[in-house]
Structure 1
Amino acid sequence: MEIVIAIFAVAAVAWAFVYARHGSLLVGCTLFVTLGYIFTRDFWQAHIGPVPLTVDRLLLSALVVLFFWRWRRGLLSVRSLSVPDCLGGMLLIYLAIRWAFTSAPPLAATSVSPSWRLIASFFMPAMLYWIVSNSELNYRQWKWLLAGLSMLGVYLAFTGIAEVKGQWWAVFPQFISNPSLGAHFGRARGPALMSASLGVYLSICFWAAWFLWAERGRWGRLLLVGAMLLMCGALYYTYTRSCWLGLAVGLAIIPFVHFPKQWRPWLFTGLAVSVCFAGIFVGDKIINMGRQDSNGSASHSVFQRESFAIVSLRMFENAPMFGHGFGRFYDKKMPYLNDRSQQIELESIRALDHHNTFLSILTETGLIGLVLLLAVLGAWVKMAWKLAHDTARPTWMRAHGMFHLATLICYMVNAMFHDLTLSPSEQWLLCLVTGVTAGLTSMTYVPKRCLEHIPINWQLNAATN
């Protein structure tokens, strides 16, 4: 066995040197997000020193080394800081300060270490964003990004459906079939072992396939339509309303912005008919889903949102500016669960983390943290919108602006129902897409080689938008 491992290690090092010389940083970052999401610590980790080694940490470390190596050799240049970059830096600095001045919680009073949450959900995505935004970006690499995410979506959809149908032979990695790991066993939950995380990934991968559709031929488009339908089926089997809503809101906005005005009445009619159909035939099933999770929390999850809102409001009143400490909602909420001044039962959230990213940041870091987070997201929305409507740029760049908008819609809708910062992989995917937008926005000219590959069917009439 040791010989086999040694052979694989030597081969990996050899390929790493080849990739360092000729490989694309954007493709490497896409592989990091993909492989890091699939091969989690439940699949493999090595305890060498104080910090366990995992696939995602090794890949990101390699990307950081590769980035600085190319920068030192003059193979790439670092762009000037933009307003979104400065806002993001301010958010990171404030969260780091707030973490440093917060006492560590008791081991039994936290589900996610504040230190690990700060590193994995904020600083690792920031490094990914910085690498992508300063790497070489062109049309070919952008297509590889969409193709990689589309293939990831097909894999996740196939795995999720196999989970629900009990076809464990088709589920990979095998730790997904272990009911004692993670939450939401019995629903499609994927390698992250959480249905909400799988739903976010499926939704964003759906949009990757959507925007790749125009770049392919007839048979390629047919395969992509099948892939999108497969992803929608798996998204249903997550039995997570916020994920359904995230994709639905995107479908209600992106086509109206993306397509010419003469198409919009047909789109509006189709959307209205779909909403009416869903309300009449499946509305009751959506509201009263008969799902059962391994943690038993799904039966009254809708009502728990009110409990989280009330507790968050009480906590905000007592620490409005700086919050109760980064990563401390889990244990700091306990005294507020005894409040009997309203009719809503609060005890059911005692063993739960926050279910709202924005309220979580508000209670833990105060109004300053929430304002900075909203400012960053708002700057990203503005950046994506400007790129999508900049008619001086190639159409594939504008298409990426629309893809970024769809990604932000999915992320922010789900953030209102889950604390996504407890699962770092969602921030990885968001910053991967955002980094491409930042890099494209910083370009002051359009390479002629990009214009040769623009599909005619992507050309939009600026007067109709």
Structure 2
Amino acid sequence: MSAATAAENRAPVTSGEGHAPDHRTQPYVVLFILGLVANMLSSHSHRLGIPLSPDRILIPLAIVLFLMDKRRARVRWGAVSALMAAFVVWTLVSMIWHGNVLSSSPLFALLDRTVMPFLMFLLGPVIFRDTHSRDLLLKALTVVGLYLGLTAILEQWAPQFVFPQYIVDPNVGIHFGRPRGPFASAEAMAMALAVCAGAALLLKSRNLPRWSVLSLVVSLLCFFGVVLTTTRSVWVGVFAGVIVALVLSPALRRWIPAMAAGAVVGFIGVVLYLPSLWDNILERSTTSGPIFDRLSSNAAALRVLEDLPLTGIGWRRFYPHGSEWARQSDSFPLNNAVIEVHNVILSRAVELGLPAVIVFILIIVLGPVRSALPAPPVAGQLDLAGWRVLSGYVVAVWLVAGMFGPLSPPFPNYSVWLIAGVASFALLHRPVEGSDAHRVARRPGAHRPSDPARLP
């Protein structure tokens, strides 16, 4: 347990506004969390007899209730929000120009890959503005991790017990034969498990009654689930995320020997007692077909950029129209004429052009990446130090996985950007007028250039 965590356990919990402790949970906090959890069923809720995914109702309702709350916290608008708005406007103009602004697939892609992640980042610190609500979010992600971890194991060894059953239907989704969870996608499953593992470990450090043991078990279960998905990009992402977390938190470094020992024991256990899993890992690790597909689609995307560097091919038009730029390489086979670009940055560039991708990169750097950087403590918000470490971990996983995959399912994107937003409390949260924090901020000289409460 870090010194910051120990100090927080001895200190009273406040709202961050100078008010007395308040453990009441606002309805919009609960609805927002329920919407995030329900988002796991996005694109597949109709298979359960639900025509519209519940998150499409719960999250907007939570936002409306939040805006109706007269005592709600305010967002400190600045460069990041302006860049986000500019990127969304650019995308809409691209859709209008190419005539697909009224098509459902591009619209939902804009919502799930751009608008909602941006809103998650901006609303995270003001909806989850106190320690109590942030702990509630960690508990929800831990419970989700428990479900996903158990589902990954059941998919592998007892598929008849998996719920919902569409998960084990070979005609639904992609990556059948690997743990896919309610996303029906092994990549999304691996990303979600990685995020929940980090959230569970942060909850473990909170030393909350009845949650300490469960959160540790869930974290181990989730990491094992990541291995079961045999998703190489997320494997590398988790490794990078752990390194980032160790760099950001000196208190974690004393656990390096235990982590190394656990990894060795886990490796030996898989080789000796789960030979079929080890065979799957070896087979997946040496499979070259997906690599060739990525190389082919990336090469086609680069040809599009050569021809259309300023505007790109248009939002959500590379698949299937990018096939016109596909070529047979002398170095590897062309198995598919074109697939979705398996690189988030390159995907934005080929669809929207180089100016737009520069804005997108700035958003990532000034938003999620910056959220993990150390910042001076905020009164009554000592748990934010742990959130910044968690943000560094999940953002690293997301960035690495995003170099090798499209990251199209919404839940991993939502959760990563939400965690980064919560960790950006000092950057995005504006004190409520009349509060103690607001009076401090109004004092002459309170906003120095190094003040973390100001956006760049």
TM-score by shorter chain over 0.5: yes
Aligned to 1:6: none
Tell me whether 1:306 sits opposite 2:295 in the alignment: yes
Quick one: distance in 1 between partners of 2:238 and 2:211? 23
Aligned to 1:383: 370
Aligned to 1:226: 217
Specify the SS of the correspondent of 2:61.
helix
Tell me whether 1:84 sits opposite 2:72 in the alignment: no
Q: 1:369 aligns with which of 336, 356, 359?
A: 356
Tell me whether 1:65 sits opposite 2:57 in the alignment: no
Quick one: distance in 1 between partners of 2:405 and 2:382? 34
What is the TM-score with the length of structure 2 in the denominator? 0.78
State whether residues 132 and 435 of structure 1, in contact with CA within 8 Å, keep that contact through their aligned partners in structure 2.
yes
Specify the SS of the correspondent of 2:57.
helix
Tell me whether 1:139 sits opposite 2:131 in the alignment: yes
What is the TM-score with the length of structure 1 in the denominator? 0.77
Tell me whether 1:205 sits opposite 2:191 in the alignment: no
User: RCO higher in 1 or 2 (8 Å CA, sep ≥ 6)?
Assistant: 2
State whether residues 209 and 228 of structure 1, in contact with CA within 8 Å, keep that contact through their aligned partners in structure 2.
yes
Aligned to 1:56: 55
Unpaired stretches in structure 2, ≥5 consecutive residues: 1-23, 272-277, 438-456
One-letter amino acid of the counterpart of residue 181, structure 1? V
Specify the SS of the correspondent of 1:183.
coil
Shift of 1:266: 7.1
One-letter amino acid of the counterpart of residue 203, structure 1? A
Q: 1:319 aligns with which of 308, 323, 341?
A: 308
State whether residues 368 and 421 of structure 2, in contact with CA within 8 Å, keep that contact through their aligned partners in structure 1.
no
Q: 2:207 aligns with which of 200, 203, 216?
A: 216
Aligned to 2:150: 158
Q: 1:430 aligns with which of 394, 416, 426?
A: 416
Quick one: distance in 2 between partners of 1:206 and 1:26? 22
Shift of 1:146: 0.9
Aligned to 1:23: 26
Query: Which deviations, in whole Å up to 9, do the C-alpha atoms of 1:93-136 show, x marking residues without a partner?
Result: 1112112212349x9xxxx8212211232223334444434336
Aligned residues: 402
Aligned to 2:450: none
CA distance 1:426–1:22, change in 2 (3 Å): closer
Aligned to 2:389: 402
CA distance 1:136–1:253, change in 2 (3 Å): closer
Specify the SS of the correspondent of 1:216.
coil
Aligned to 2:11: none
Tell me whether 1:175 sits opposite 2:136 in the alignment: no
Aligned to 1:93: 89
State whether residues 368 and 417 of structure 2, in contact with CA within 8 Å, keep that contact through their aligned partners in structure 1.
no
One-letter amino acid of the counterpart of residue 39, structure 2? G
One-letter amino acid of the counterpart of residue 110, structure 2? L
Counterpart mapping for 1:247-326 below 5 A: 247-260=238-251, 264=253, 267=256, 289-290=282-283, 300-326=289-315
Aligned to 1:34: 37
Shift of 1:304: 2.5
Shift of 1:286: 9.2
Quick one: distance in 1 between partners of 2:50 and 2:369? 42
Shift of 1:45: 5.8
CA distance 1:276–1:143, change in 2 (3 Å): closer
State whether residues 29 and 128 of structure 1, in contact with CA within 8 Å, keep that contact through their aligned partners in structure 2.
no
One-letter amino acid of the counterpart of residue 148, structure 1? A
Aligned to 1:343: 331
CA distance 1:257–1:218, change in 2 (3 Å): same
One-letter amino acid of the counterpart of residue 217, structure 2? G
Query: Which deviations, in whole Å up to 9, do the C-alpha atoms of 1:17-67 show, x marking residues without a partner?
Result: xxxx963433432221112214642444666xxxxx321111123213212
One-letter amino acid of the counterpart of residue 172, structure 1? F
Aligned to 2:233: 242
CA distance 1:275–1:91, change in 2 (3 Å): farther
Shift of 1:224: 2.2
State whether residues 371 and 421 of structure 2, in contact with CA within 8 Å, keep that contact through their aligned partners in structure 1.
no
Unpaired stretches in structure 1, ≥5 consecutive residues: 1-20, 48-52, 293-297, 450-465
CA distance 1:25–1:82, change in 2 (3 Å): farther
Shift of 1:265: 7.9
C-alpha RMSD over aligned residues: 3.4
One-letter amino acid of the counterpart of residue 376, structure 2? D
Q: 1:333 aligns with which of 322, 339, 360?
A: 322
One-letter amino acid of the counterpart of residue 412, structure 2? E
CA distance 1:155–1:75, change in 2 (3 Å): same
Q: 1:114 aligns with which of 106, 116, 141?
A: 106
One-letter amino acid of the counterpart of residue 37, structure 1? M
Specify the SS of the correspondent of 1:352.
coil
Tell me whether 1:102 sits opposite 2:98 in the alignment: yes
One-letter amino acid of the counterpart of residue 80, structure 1? R
Specify the SS of the correspondent of 1:210.
helix
State whether residues 323 and 363 of structure 1, in contact with CA within 8 Å, keep that contact through their aligned partners in structure 2.
yes
Shift of 1:145: 1.1
CA distance 1:396–1:93, change in 2 (3 Å): same
Quick one: distance in 2 between partners of 1:217 and 1:396? 13
